[in-house]
Amino acid sequence: MTSVSIDCPECLRVNTCRINIKSGKCLNYEVDNVKYYQHKYFRSCLLPSIALAMGEVSNQYVHDFILKPKWLIETSGFPFYEYEKYTDIPDKHIDRANVWQIDNGHFASIPSMARFTIKEAKSYIEFCEKILYVEIGGGMSKELQEEAAYLKGKLASCYSRGRAAC
């Protein structure tokens, strides 16, 4: 087994961080990267709390088949984006989306959160927080509260400085 020197503050701070080195850089940490903090907060704190409150075992199922369709209905009026032809699907959704053909011969797409803009991801996270705290009446476990507070603080800092700083 090869030993790897880790200088990544996130890997050093969170002992459970899986090392993810690409081109000599740890992909788990990018200073002031709002998309990183959005993803980390959603995946490690918010989504597991929602799934647990719903009594679901699969976080991914809750994310892909419950939360994203509900959010799309709220933001666009439909549970997915519909395209007449496969080639009409935007390039940013082709490689990272759930795509299927629907009964009318058109194609449906639910994009990956990785392809959301910062504004879309912020809207989605706020929607999911509303689901957790208002609709379900749930909350986060004590173990997740400290991590969530840290990540929400990072997000607030990024949002307050505007997109360019993030």
Residue ranges per structural domain of the chain: 1-30, 33-81+112-165
Give strand pairing partners of 82.
Answer: 108
Reported as a pLDDT band with limits 50, 70 and 90, residue 131 is: very high
What is the per-residue pLDDT for 77?
92
Percent of the chain, pLDDT > 90? 57
* pTM for the model: 0.76
12, two tokens: 């050093």
Number of Cβ within a 10 Å radius of residue 68: 22
Bridge-based pairing state of the strands 97-101 and 107-111: antiparallel
Cβ atoms 107, 83 nearer than 8 A: yes
pLDDT band at 165 (very low <50, low <70, confident <90, very high): very low
Q: How confident is the model at residue 122 (pLDDT cuts 50, 70, 90)?
A: very high
C-beta neighbour count of 50 within 10 angstroms? 25
**DSSP string covering the chain:** --------HHHHH-TTPPP-EETTEETT--TT-HHHHHHHHIIIIIHHHHHHHHT-S-HHHIIIIIIHHHHHHHHHSSSSEEESSGGGS-HHHHSSEEEEE-TTS-EEEEE-GGGS-HHHHHHHHHHHHHIIIIII-----HHHHHHHHHHHHHHHHHHHH-GGG-
Average pLDDT (37-54) is 94
95 pLDDT band (50/70/90 cuts)?
Answer: confident
